[in-house]
Structure 1
């Protein structure tokens, strides 16, 4: 069975560069028989980077599928076209702001093989600190972190997809920083005497998932509203997903976390922790300037909100 990697990218070139650097420099990109870049409205500098990436790494079996920018069908159509182009395969899908370890596909493949013959098996996913499922697992796996979480944030401990970590960028940054270095984080998880796989049946964030052609056929293709549709379908049809508890990957931000995280140097610190040769020092141009640019992009929206409040005030 061929292994197909889909990387969905739209507008965060800064995140996409780190995503691809980790795939290429970590070596995991060579695990796949085909690497398909799903271009959701990619243009300009972002598109030029995609073209340069393919030129710089001719040994990688690239493919691209492009469509207009947007959500819903505009995203699911890209994934479905990829599956139709490469049927009877095993599919690994990540987003542009997903940052992976060197051995992440092998661990997801092991989980798939362990449940391959089970007709109730649907999706495979790793531990992702800033989503509800992953944060809940880490806080229950490391009680000292749960105690700090309660003290700092006084928030409930829940695996809900829209729980505190999804809503609160401060929580997302905090838990991500606890596992900043991917090699060290995965070492901590592997050292725990815990089951490698956990079955569950609920909606979860699908920034990094693995599924096969059989599952794609039985669900009728990736749903229009992929995360919601997939989550509802799994529950309604008595299926289960698998959490791979010894595989941790990072996801940068959900839209509700993004403004807060973009005001922090988390993205640069993730690069420094995992690819120090590409950003070894806290230089002005490499470390501080990107954050200032992100903050600058937020200023018009901040001023608009504050002026709106001012004029609405009695």
Structure 2
């Protein structure tokens, strides 16, 4: 039997690029996070050799090693843990909000959490507060009040669009009041307002992390439990209702959980943008929209990106540091431009 002519031979189909499974991607992100955490803990204005990290857990007799131990345990490790907690909380909130609004460009700030917290903090600073013990609770109360007002006004009529419009209106009101406070602020207060609005993880300490870490972990677990409802929402509200999900209660629960999750993060870290937007979208591009895996992977991805941003903020202008909001905006801005050009193409 004659072999087929080369001109008539069917070319072999190109081999599809194999993506890692969700579990593999989650493990890869966790390993990268562990490596980056070690690098961040050992580098900075005071460099701690990696070979000595394991020996610093016990009290050393050498003065140099004792100094390294104090830097590691009192400064570096709390900041690394703080970055992991803040990044994971902001990222999973963004993923949930994107599912709720069925919009890949949604983030927690849409319902007033961020600007409400900024209004509370700005008001406290202008009225004379100088301690984080006063500014953080004021920011938390501002986040809850702004989110509550947006939700109350947005649920007068059914549908997510009204909630979105109410959030835009509340954000505009908060921004205008912040402008009034800024106009009344002194030069010193203006400097404090500027740095707070840019975000910072410099206030990390173990006493704060003792309550913040379990809080973020608990609320993240509660959000992950709703993965089936979030998957149903992607089909549309009518389809989700036909599948048996009570959308009004679901929307109410998600908004409250996101406000309770993001509010304390804004209160203690300031305004940090783009983490809740960029990380969930990148995970969705690589693994699809199944929230059973999307939410845990987003949790790990947010922790990784925030740890990287904090490390860069400390290393770029060492021994000083950049506000972390500048780093996240530098990452998020080009990503949005790439996303726009990709959609147009």
TM (normalized to structure 1)? 0.27
Which structure is higher in RCO with an 8 Å CA cutoff and minimum separation 6? 2
Q: Which has the larger radius of gyration?
A: 2
TM (normalized to structure 2)? 0.26
**Structure richer in helix, relative to its length:** 2
